[in-house]
Amino acid sequence: MSSSHPTTANSVSREEGAGYVLVRLSGEVDLSWSQDVRRAVLAAFAGNEPVGVELSAVGYIDSSGIAALVEGLQHARAQGRRFALVAPSDAVRAVLELARLDRVFAIVADTDALLAST
Amino acid sequence: MTVARQRIASLHAVAPRAREADALAFLAELSRSLAVSLDLRETLPRTITEVRDFLDVEGIALFLLDAATQVLECKVSAGPVDVTGMRLAVGQGIVGRAVAEDATQLVADADADARVWRAADEATGFVTRSIVCAPLRTAAGPIGVIEIVNRRDGKPFTEADAELLDLVAAPAALAINNARMAGALLEQQRLKREFDLARHLQKSLLPRRRRDAFPVLGVNRPAHEISGDFYDYFELVDGRIGFVVGDISGKGLDAALLMVRAASLLRWAGKDGLAPSAWLARANDELCETARDGRFVCALVGYVDRAATRIEFAGAGFPPVIVHRHGRYDEYAAGGPPLGILRDLVFGQHDLLLDGGTFYAFSDGATDVRDTTGKPIGLSGMRELIARHARETPQARLRGLLGELKRLHLVDDTTLLLVEAPQAERPELLLARTLPARAEAMRELRAELRAAFDEHGIEPRLRDRLVLAVDEACTNIIRHGYGPECEGAIVLRVSRSDSMLGIELVDDAPAVDPASIKPGPLGDCRCGGLGVALIDEVMDEWRIEPAEDGRGNRLVLRKRIPSWACEEADDT
């Protein structure tokens, strides 16, 4: 089996950095918990910092997971806030490309780039 | 360039004929024009004239060495006398000496040097006063010589002139060597094209796979570019089907040509419906008349009726066939030696009722495959492989057998032929599962799908897309078909029919209106409708229809798999 499908457990966590909020996802994002992801992403907009969603440990994402990210983007645009996907895995990139959303999202390599991407 | 610069600097200390900057610029331009030249026959005469004028000499000539005859021949020259075509032995004259010693030769005063070959001047009337010859050096030794004769200012050549010619010789040698290697490459490409042609010719002799209910199926896998193996089948006027498997001794182009001859001969000899033993005898006598160089042909020929109830066959030097019938494996040995060795042979034949069983014939490329301990797998190994794939469709079985043999490492051409009662073409089932219509069941399903797609050789990128499409289809059924309140199941079947992957999802949910399900545009920054859009993007076609028993829905996804299409092409 290819390395793009690690058997990491599903998890979502929130990390308050110096001047940003990072929502860190891992595992396989699908319908069974994409509502948790959606809530976590929207909750990250509570302050005024830029919001990033870290996706390097995501081995799979389906359309419901993508929808949670799209909702975050829409929320950010409506409020004039910064929002970016941080270090998406190959698996995530492949789905974004398939959905023609790879140019819609701001995609950055790390949190430094998240801060710089104004 | 540093070494060249030092050498030019040092030589101008002695002979400031050409300024250092000029010399460098000239050498750079010379290297460039030689390096980009596509046709040296066109470039060299011009280059040689430029070198003559730059060095300010009367005559210049370029000799190339014929490695086989060790003769140097002048290919281009410029000067008062055209010496093109002049031939010298290695060691003969100053030119020959430059090659023999692989060293630049300087003769300041030709009159006073006994090494100078005088016959040239005597024949042409030209007066040679002073000569420099530089070898064209390559890693594999000198390939020729560049020669300059007489400075225009009348003075004798100096060490500085010799060093400058040496610098000119280097890019010239490189360019000529490159051109020769390019020529050799072209020759290789021409040979490859001819081999390709031979291979296509051979492939075109193999019969097309029959898609209708047909009892005979074969595969052929050449070990190298061209094969010594073949198989064939054809219909007689009485409705029986004749079949042939052949294996030519030896390898290479002449074996391939004998294969073409043997294949047409065996087909011709079997068209009259002679008994298999007589069929072999006839082909043997014909082949004995023309076969040479100790080459021979191992063959198996036979007939079967369309329903594969009765089969008769005879082998000539061919490995025993295996008949798998009601859980038993019977072996039937060849009825005589290979064809093309001795005339007037009589071959034994077998005649049996297939009775729902399967007849397997395979060239020795299959039985000679070695197992992990290094021993040929033999007939018992083939029996094990057959048992492992016995439940698959004939096409899948042959593919499976060949796949296992390939994994063990095929070293010889391999041909497998199978005869059994034809079944209606049924798709090969890759995965069948009934899963609860719950989002929590999807992760395990995805892992199973990935494993099944991997096992059937679907490359990872396409595999991941297909997994996504099936997942999206299931989650749509879970979300919109059954809804949050409703419990149910999804019956999944993944199957292969030729190069087409088919995925069927049957649910028990209220009937949906197919017209209501439409893919949205991709790249759209909205939250809904993406799942169907992804399915539509990944699959070649999809449709939703009422399930057969009236309740529920049946979703069918189809995708042509490119790597499977390649396998199919190989099988024909």
**pLDDT, mean of residues B74-98:** 90
As a whole number of angstroms, the distance between CA B158 and CA B139 comes to 27
B507–chain A nearest CA distance, Å: 18
pLDDT of B153 above 80: yes
Chain B contact present for A104, CB below 8 A: yes
Which chain A residue is nearest to residue B459, measuring alpha carbons?
A2
Residues whose CB is less than 8 angstroms from the CB of residue B268 and which lie 6 or more positions away in sequence, other chains included: none
Which chain B residue is nearest to residue A72, measuring alpha carbons?
B527
Residues of B in contact with A64 (CB under 8 A): 475, 531
pLDDT tens-digit map of B327-368: 899 999 988 999 998 899 999 999 999 988 999 999 988 888
State whether residue B263 is helix, strand or coil: helix
State whether residue A102 is helix, strand or coil: coil
Question: Is the CB of residue B482 less than 8 Å from the CB of residue B509?
Answer: yes
pLDDT of B37 above 80: no
Smallest Cα–Cα separation from B336: which of B276, B378, B258?
Answer: B276
Buried b (16+ CB within 10 A) or exposed e, B44-60: bbebbebbbebbebbbb
Residues whose CB is less than 8 angstroms from the CB of residue B491 and which lie 6 or more positions away in sequence, other chains included: B432, B433, B434, B504, B505, B506, B507
Among B439, B530, B533, beta carbon nearest to A31: B439
Smallest Cα–Cα separation from B266: which of B343, B205, B336?
Answer: B205
For B252: left if phi > 0, alpha if psi spans -120 to 50, otherwise beta; the answer is: left
Give the pLDDT score at B485: 75
As a whole number of angstroms, the distance between CA B191 and CA B431 comes to 46
> Residue A116 is encoded by which pair of tokens?
């710089």
For B93: left if phi > 0, alpha if psi spans -120 to 50, otherwise beta; the answer is: left
Chain B contact present for A32, CB below 8 A: yes
**Range with the poorest average pLDDT among B45-54, B143-152, B180-189, B430-439:** B180-189
Q: How does residue B112 score in pLDDT terms, banded at 50, 70 and 90?
A: confident
**pLDDT, mean of residues B43-67:** 91
As a whole number of angstroms, the distance between CA A56 and CA A27 comes to 10
Asked whether residue A6 is domain-assigned, the answer is no
Give the pLDDT score at B540: 94
pLDDT tens-digit map of B534-563: 999 999 999 998 887 778 899 999 999 998
Q: How does residue A44 score in pLDDT terms, banded at 50, 70 and 90?
A: very high
State whether residue B285 is helix, strand or coil: helix
Q: Which of A88-102, B249-263, B384-398 has the highest mean pLDDT?
A: A88-102
B531–chain A nearest CA distance, Å: 5
Number of domain units in chain A: 1
Best residue of B467, B470, B527, B536 to probe chain A, by most A CBs closer than 10 Å = B527
Among B442, B454, B531, beta carbon nearest to A63: B531
State whether residue B356 is helix, strand or coil: coil
Class of domain B2-182: alpha beta
Beta bridge partners of B217: B418
As a whole number of angstroms, the distance between CA B357 and CA B353 comes to 9
Asked whether residue A88 is domain-assigned, the answer is yes
A13–chain B nearest CA distance, Å: 20
Give the pLDDT score at A3: 41
| B366 vs B156, higher pLDDT | B156
State whether residue B483 is helix, strand or coil: coil
> Residue B19 is encoded by which pair of tokens?
């300024």
As a whole number of angstroms, the distance between CA B342 and CA B294 comes to 11
As a whole number of angstroms, the distance between CA B186 and CA B150 comes to 40
Asked whether residue A106 is domain-assigned, the answer is yes
> Residue B517 is encoded by which pair of tokens?
């399900």
**Block residue for tokens 């949050």:** B484
Give the pLDDT score at B569: 55
Query: Cα B217 to chain center, whole Å?
Result: 25
> Residue B172 is encoded by which pair of tokens?
């010239």
As a whole number of angstroms, the distance between CA A62 and CA A54 comes to 16
Domain range for residue A100? 11-116
Give the pLDDT score at B13: 47
Chain B contact present for A62, CB below 8 A: yes
Class of domain B206-420: alpha beta
Give the pLDDT score at B572: 42
DSSP β-ladder status, B105-107 and B414-420: unpaired
Cβ <8 Å between B465 and A94: yes
ipTM for the predicted complex: 0.91
Give the pLDDT score at A65: 95
Chain B contact present for A36, CB below 8 A: no
Give the pLDDT score at B312: 96
How does DSSP assign B43-63, residue by residue? HHHHHHHHHHHHHTEEEEEEE
**pLDDT, mean of residues B120-133:** 86
Cβ <8 Å between A32 and B472: no
Cβ <8 Å between B443 and A28: yes
Class of domain B428-571: alpha beta
As a whole number of angstroms, the distance between CA B339 and CA B261 comes to 13
Residues of B in contact with A95 (CB under 8 A): 468, 534
Chain B contact present for A90, CB below 8 A: no
Alpha helices in chain A, H assignment, sequence order: 34-43, 63-79, 90-98, 111-116
* Amino acid making up residue B155: K
Question: Is the CB of residue B531 less than 8 Å from the CB of residue B498?
Answer: no
**Block residue for tokens 């949205």:** B520
Residues of B in contact with A101 (CB under 8 A): 522-523, 525
Asked whether residue A35 is domain-assigned, the answer is yes
Window 305-364 of B, Cβ < 8 Å to A: none
Give the pLDDT score at B222: 79
Cβ <8 Å between A63 and B443: no
Give the pLDDT score at B322: 95
Chain B contact present for A106, CB below 8 A: no
DSSP B422: -
Domain with CATH 3.30.565.10 in chain B: 428-571
Task: Please report, rounded to a whole number, the percentage of residues in chain B having pLDDT higher than 70.
Answer: 92
DSSP B477: I
Beta-strand runs (E) in B20-157 = 57-66, 71-78, 87-89, 105-107, 131-136, 144-151
As a whole number of angstroms, the distance between CA B406 and CA B401 comes to 9
| B229 vs A65, higher pLDDT | A65
State whether residue B498 is helix, strand or coil: coil
DSSP B337: P
Domain with CATH 3.30.450.40 in chain B: 2-182
Question: Is the CB of residue B114 less than 8 Å from the CB of residue B77?
Answer: no
Cβ <8 Å between B525 and A74: yes
Task: Please report, rounded to a whole number, the percentage of residues in chain B having pLDDT higher than 90.
Answer: 47
Asked whether residue A3 is domain-assigned, the answer is no
Give me the total of CB pairs closer than 8 Å, taking one residue from chain A and one from chain B: 77
Best residue of A30, A33, A77, A89 to probe chain B, by most B CBs closer than 10 Å = A30
pTM of the model: 0.48
**pLDDT, mean of residues B425-430:** 78
| Rg of the Cα atoms in chain A | 13
Cβ <8 Å between A67 and B450: no
